[in-house]
Amino acid sequence: MSEITLNPEQIKEILKSAIVELIRDNREEVSEFLAEIIEDIAMERAIAEGETTDLVNRDSIFQLLKPKS
């Protein structure tokens, strides 16, 4: 059996092609995956921000949520 050797540039190009093909063939799944990542990051930031802000009482929240007439 003969051995195949690849230099780092060849490996990089093969990986790039594989990733592009994966994204192209699974566009919807990749989009959903990226959307989930973005949502997770946003939630993480919101939680971190919430931990550093002043507390608000329950009635104030419900006043904001009431529909305006």
Q: How many CB atoms lie within 10 A of CB 23?
A: 13
pTM of structure: 0.56
Task: Supply the pLDDT for residue 35.
Answer: 97
Q: For the chain, what are the domain ranges?
A: 8-65
30, 23 contact by CB (below 8 A): yes
Reported as a single tens digit per residue, the pLDDT across 17-53 is: 999 999 999 999 999 999 999 999 999 999 999 999 9
Q: Is the pLDDT of residue 1 over 80?
A: no
Task: Supply the pLDDT for residue 2.
Answer: 80
Task: Supply the pLDDT for residue 21.
Answer: 96
Q: In sequence order, what are the residues at sequence separation of 6 or more whose Cβ sits closer than 8 angstroms to the Cβ of residue 6?
A: 14
Q: In sequence order, what are the residues at sequence separation of 6 or more whose Cβ sits closer than 8 angstroms to the Cβ of residue 22?
A: 30
Query: Which of the pair, 16 or 4, is modelled with greater confidence?
Result: 16
The CA distances from residue 45 to 13, 52, 56, in Å, are 35, 11, 19
